[in-house]
Chain A
């Protein structure tokens, strides 16, 4: 805040100031999206994304968390760190998890498909690339993802060298995910991001990256009106798709063999 409040008479709006010269950032943001559309990609199942709406923390069910995982002391510029992170994003993920970006990579408006190892099963979902600039990029989750929220990956100058961080603002999407978070999900998620930041740090030249972690409960209230999000739960649907997948592909295979 730059000055003391200047009370005005009740109901008397102040004169609107002249509009400032806006710095254009249209190219940094995804365009308007009502429902996600995505094509099949090699290496991932690619289900539970097409036709889904985006869902942020406002649409989530569980407590709201702000989680930050960071490493400091990098000897590269923030711009270089973010360029490398974007270019090699899937390589820093722990084994067993797949991230399939589009051909244009991590660019505003693109949808990436994910296969995540969760509790012994494979959860298929995705993210929209919401925002990209030289020092940061942000993903937003669709309906059915474990979380309703945003994840921002950023780099900035700091004493001792560049600092990179992954910061999430999220709620569990539905009561099932909220329960899972309480039963070890938070710990697993922290392990995931610590491993990711460690791999990134090594890639950027740090021999023994020290990952700083901060977890803040921004809102301890659950949004009970959002319990119906469970309908889209990608974990439940992914299990169903794993079970019914072979059955669904059988008629197709039978048709192919009869044609041969």
Chain B
């Protein structure tokens, strides 16, 4: 299997909010990397996880499936999942796959962090 070309870095934006910065190509091959990032991000008391797709170069259907797996894990921990930085193309794919019904898509990081909860992008 070809090695994934992706980086997922975790940073904290408050006591209960963590951001995963995703850079590169998101495919099913990067599931261990995403789950490792999730483990780090969902440490003590994280209630909201924000996926930053600003650096996303490419995502296939395996990548979408992987996000569903992440969603299940987050739901199990009663964590909210949000996303921002998606290009128009990938926003359409979130809508097509109806993933946007479970992962709130935001315009920018400020609204994704939850400081402006009315700013969900539609």
Contact = CB atoms under 8 A, between A and B. Distances in A.
Contacts of A31: 92, 96
A158 B1 contact: yes
A252 interface: no
A160 interface: no
Interface in A131-147: 131, 133, 136, 138, 140
A20 B55 contact: yes
Interface residues of A, number: 53
Given A3-B9, A13-B110, A150 B2 contact: no
Contacts of A106: none
Contacts of A1: 7-10, 33, 36-37, 40
Interface residues of B, number: 55
A250 interface: no
Per DSSP, chain A at the interface is loop
Nearest to A53: B98
Contacts of B40: 1, 5
A197 B96 CA distance: 28
B78 interface: no
Interface in A53-76: 53-59, 64, 66
A98 B42 CA distance: 46
Interface in B28-65: 28, 33, 36-37, 40-41, 54-62, 64-65
A218 to B, nearest CB: 6
Contacts of B15: 10
Contacts of B8: 1-2
B76 to A, nearest CB: 8
A23 B90 CA distance: 12
A124 interface: no
B57 A22 contact: yes
Contacts of B7: 1-3
Per DSSP, chain B at the interface is mixed
A11 B55 CA distance: 21
A130 B60 CA distance: 10
Interface in B6-21: 7-15, 19, 21
Given A16-B109, A54-B96, A133-B60, A8 B2 contact: no
B60 A131 contact: yes
B79 interface: no
A156 interface: yes
A19 interface: yes
Nearest to B12: A7
A169 B98 contact: no
Given A1-B10, A11-B113, A25 B58 contact: yes
B47 to A, nearest CB: 13
A58 B68 contact: yes
B99 A56 contact: yes
Contacts of B110: 13
Contact of B115 (A11, A28, A64): A11
A28 B60 contact: yes
Interface in A24-41: 25-26, 28-33
B68 A56 contact: yes
A12 B110 CA distance: 9
Nearest to A169: B65
A136 B61 contact: yes
Contacts of B72: 64, 218-219
Contact of B87 (A13, A14, A22): A22
8 contacts: A1-B33, A5-B40, A20-B55, A29-B89, A58-B98, A58-B99, A152-B61, A157-B2
In the A-B complex, list the 3 residue pairs whose CB atoms are closest, starting with the nearest. Answer: A138-B61, A131-B61, A13-B109
